[in-house]
Structure 1
Amino acid sequence: MAFHSRPMPTLRGWVVGACGVLLLGAAGWFSRVDLLFAGLLLTLAPLGAMIAVALDRPWLAVTRSYSPAAVAAGEQTQVRLDMRNVAGRPVPAMRWTDRLPAGFAGPQVRALPPLAARGAAGVHGADSVTLRYTARARRRGAYLLGPLLVSHTDPFGLARGGYAVGESKMLLVTPKVSVLGRGGTAEARGEGMDPELVRHSIPSSDEVIPREYRPGDALRRVQWRATARLDQLMVRQEEQLSNPQAWVLIDTLKEHGGDDGPFEQGVELAASVASHLLALGYLVGVHETGGRQLSGSYELPGGDQVLLAQLAGIEQTRDTGGDASGRFAASLRGGRAASPTFLVLVDGDPRRWAELAPMRRYAAPAVAFLLTPAAQTAREPLESAGWVCVEVDGKTDAAAAWSLAMAAQLHASTAGLAGARDA
């Protein structure tokens, strides 16, 4: 059922009006006064009904709330609408729905029970009602839901009027965050891939306690003296670091146009990787290749929610924002040790990506996710510098892309270790 801001005849009203016009024509043809009277009555009845509906506007107050207040793309939120009659006269039964932006799945038209006059004595709560429905957002963003739309007809069903009541309220839809693998080959660390190493990412010359090698440990941490003495591969267990650093670069420049699907996929991938690193205890720096839209640095508690809220509104841009790649490179060089670094490349300038290749010396592990054919042109210079490059197509979700990256990182580490032992 469509809602109109102005009163409109219903199907019955159009039929009644059409019958009135026919009777008026018959009255003129047959010169009958009774047909003239009936024709005028039927013709004017829908108009009178429209005037009555316009004057009988309901006065309603609506309070809107969401549970949860923010959701990830594809998830549901429960919308609660507390409606109260603020007029001194009762409100008849009506129909209602909610005005939702494009891309939202929400309620169909539903029945609204009659409401008593404001503060009606003897009927507790009869002047108010609570409405609920479930809304689902298909993609991230900040959306205004509402106002509530109500519709009612005149007693004869000849005209219908629609009204917007209450106000709109913002709902934040964040990028979808996938749970990334944990343990074994699933943890990408600057000093390896074991979760325990979140506390051991800065080398110390004073503390060189050896422990056995685990898949993913960096080659530079192998302690050859202990390895020879114990006849098994040993690595250094180094000093504790309370706030290790990790970096994520998301490509926000738009060079070629076209489908925005890869960019949305890139935002979800960046959100998943950054959230995963935050959960491991990292201080995560997130940069863009375009103009600055993010605050830059995040840590727990609360940093994950701030990051997701900002990623909900991030957009592709043609504004380079100055030398964004240079600022990112400066951040990497400023670290005390090589840090986990992840590039999410979509549709920007391959020349800028190539400038990041020498930054491999400051990144461990160094992983680049290539989401488009344009991004794949950066594979050669990045891999030549030692970056692990992973091609991600439209069917690969964040968890699968992470698994591919960790498998590639493990293979690269194992190959490097084997080469060093042979040497």
Structure 2
Amino acid sequence: MSGGGRPPGGGDDEGGMGSAFSGLTTRGRSFLAAGIAAAGCSVVLGQTDLLRVGLLLAVLPIVCVLVLYRTRYRVAGSRRLSPARVPAGSEARVHLRIDNVSRLPTGLLMLQDRVPYVLGPRPRFVLDRIEPGGRREVSYRVRSDLRGRYSLGPLQLRLTDPFGMCELARGFSAYDTLTVVPRVEPLPAVRLAGEAAGYGDGRNRSLALAGEDDVIPRGYRHGDDLRRVHWRSTARYGELMVRREEQPQRAHCTVLLDTRAVAHIGAGPDSAFEWAVSGAASAAVHLLERGYAVRLLTDTGSSIPGPDGVGGYPGSSLESADTAGMLLDTLAVVDHSDGESLSSAYDVLRGGSEGLLVAFLGDLDEEQAAIVARMRQRGGAAVAFVLDNTAWTRGVWPADPDGLQARLRLLREAGWTALLVGPGVPLAHLWRHTDARGGNRADAGPAPTASTTGMS
């Protein structure tokens, strides 16, 4: 953020002289009241010396107000976030800089930055006199356990006189945004059940392996190998056409996040919904690092990144770092939806191509479990993490073993690798159980440090 303008006390600042007198401190108001009282008593008692004292007490705060109000100088303020995107529970540092761009030195400045209460207390600093052309730099730390997008600013400056009689405040208009993204947990490299060999790392499909009618030619360029001339297209377009170079096609993955309010119980950083959001972020980043083209899909049918027209798959033309940033920014502000069904997400998946599907689901009834079972594409791998929300709120796992196992069985019969998630289970612990070489587990309970593991 950067901003500049006439500083506190500029003669034509908004509010006029009335706002300047409203800046009188308790000391200034006391002096003014004492002076008026002394002057009144001097008239009643006929004491000339008391009148002089009263005038001195009353004039001093008035002179301080006039001096501050008529003093003209300009300052510029800037803010820098390091970093601007931070995981939940981690700290970010905010650097503030004040430059005196006028020809006059400033007085004592009190600097205050506005921050949301979830980021910590409002920072306040006292800056010494800044010489013409000089600068002062200060910094403070912010931290939030709640993901979200928070506005910082605008900066506020308060100017005081040497006697502490008056304070005038002005603020800049610019502000910055701190994005608190979900925690991303490092995941082990495994071969997911149903995944083709190569697990997506460098899997390429070459146009050279396609049939003659499937080749997409382009115009001839100087230096192209004449052995790549495509004569059929040359005859069709009337100009020399050549076959394109081999173009890699990245493996596709869809991360499905169930945000239905009816499927999640509880709130806060330790709730089941926050675990699902963090899990979706971790899976997306992990698969991007392995070379997948990843998109995020919610139960409402919204897809991030949006379609880009390349191969009909969202995000296939974006760099992994750009896609990861886009997904994390989206997950930073994702909230519960009002929907009660996963049918919108099913409609999106039904019209898509084969690819890996990783789903983070809340409570499922029989109808929703049947919809999820039909989401798996033929020949594609599908992994579902089903949260037992009742267990998260009651602290007992599993809360409803018969009903949950019946719905998990329905998913497994449709080809899903379905894992039941209880409270306190790290995603890395569950991710290992998706390894095709280890077999399909029935469920995964609390972490190994808990009293029971619940593995079968």
Is residue 327 of structure 2 the alignment partner of residue 307 of structure 1?
Answer: yes
Aligned residue for 1:211? Answer: none
1:122-201 alignment runs, 5 A limit: 126-165=133-172, 167-182=174-189, 187-191=190-194, 197-199=199-201
The 3 A distance-change label for structure 1 pair 272 and 342 is: same
The 3 A distance-change label for structure 1 pair 414 and 259 is: closer
Alignment partner of 2:373 out of 336, 353, 357? 357
Q: Is the 8 A contact 1:19 1:42 kept in 2?
A: yes
Query: Given residue 125 of structure 2, which amino acid in structure 1 is its aligned partner?
Result: R
Query: Given residue 244 of structure 1, which amino acid in structure 2 is its aligned partner?
Result: A
Query: Given residue 285 of structure 2, which amino acid in structure 1 is its aligned partner?
Result: S
In 1, Cα distance between equivalents of 2:375 and 2:342: 19
1:231-270 alignment runs, 5 A limit: 243-255=250-262, 259=267, 261=269, 262=271, 263-270=273-280
Query: Given residue 265 of structure 1, which amino acid in structure 2 is its aligned partner?
Result: W
Give the structure-1-normalised TM-score.
0.68
Residue aligned with 1:198, SS: coil
Is residue 127 of structure 2 the alignment partner of residue 112 of structure 1?
Answer: yes
In structure 2, list runs of 5 or more residues that go unmatched.
1-7, 9-14, 205-247, 307-313, 393-399, 443-456
Q: Is the 8 A contact 2:191 2:436 kept in 1?
A: no
Query: Given residue 143 of structure 2, which amino acid in structure 1 is its aligned partner?
Result: R
Deviation at 1:308, TM superposition (A): 1.5
The 3 A distance-change label for structure 1 pair 200 and 164 is: closer
The 3 A distance-change label for structure 1 pair 414 and 134 is: closer
Query: Given residue 161 of structure 2, which amino acid in structure 1 is its aligned partner?
Result: D
Q: Is the 8 A contact 2:158 2:169 kept in 1?
A: yes
Is residue 421 of structure 2 the alignment partner of residue 391 of structure 1?
Answer: yes
Is residue 426 of structure 2 the alignment partner of residue 407 of structure 1?
Answer: no
In 2, Cα distance between equivalents of 1:81 and 1:322: 46
Q: Is the 8 A contact 2:96 2:137 kept in 1?
A: yes
Deviation at 1:180, TM superposition (A): 1.7
In 1, Cα distance between equivalents of 2:83 and 2:437: 42
Query: Given residue 314 of structure 1, which amino acid in structure 2 is its aligned partner?
Result: V
Alignment partner of 1:317 out of 329, 337, 344? 337
CA offsets, 1:352-374, max 9 Å, x none? 34411244574535222316239
Deviation at 1:141, TM superposition (A): 2.8
Query: Given residue 327 of structure 2, which amino acid in structure 1 is its aligned partner?
Result: L
Residue aligned with 1:269, SS: helix
Aligned residue for 1:271? Answer: 281
Aligned residue for 2:208? Answer: none
1:320-331 alignment runs, 5 A limit: 323-330=343-350
Aligned residue for 2:98? Answer: 83
The 3 A distance-change label for structure 1 pair 200 and 260 is: same
Q: Is the 8 A contact 1:65 1:81 kept in 2?
A: yes
Alignment partner of 2:387 out of 362, 367, 370? 370
Aligned residue for 1:74? Answer: 89
Which shifted more, 305-314 or 375-384?
375-384
Aligned residue for 2:448? Answer: none
In 2, Cα distance between equivalents of 1:291 and 1:33: 85
Residue aligned with 2:333, SS: coil
Residue aligned with 1:8, SS: coil
Deviation at 1:384, TM superposition (A): 2.8
Query: Given residue 357 of structure 1, which amino acid in structure 2 is its aligned partner?
Result: A
Q: How many residue pairs align between the two structures? A: 354
Deviation at 1:278, TM superposition (A): 1.2
In 1, Cα distance between equivalents of 2:441 and 2:177: 51
The two structures, once aligned, show a CA RMSD in angstroms of 4.1
In 1, Cα distance between equivalents of 2:36 and 2:439: 87
Q: Is the 8 A contact 1:107 1:134 kept in 2?
A: no
The 3 A distance-change label for structure 1 pair 168 and 349 is: farther
Aligned residue for 1:380? Answer: 406
In 2, Cα distance between equivalents of 1:350 and 1:87: 71
CA offsets, 1:265-295, max 9 Å, x none? 3222110111111111222232100252632
The 3 A distance-change label for structure 1 pair 154 and 199 is: closer
Query: Given residue 360 of structure 2, which amino acid in structure 1 is its aligned partner?
Result: V
In structure 1, list runs of 5 or more residues that go unmatched.
118-125, 203-240, 417-423
Q: Is the 8 A contact 1:19 1:39 kept in 2?
A: yes
In 1, Cα distance between equivalents of 2:106 and 2:82: 28
Deviation at 1:31, TM superposition (A): 5.5
Aligned residue for 2:25? Answer: 10
The 3 A distance-change label for structure 1 pair 51 and 137 is: farther
The 3 A distance-change label for structure 1 pair 346 and 281 is: same
The 3 A distance-change label for structure 1 pair 30 and 344 is: farther
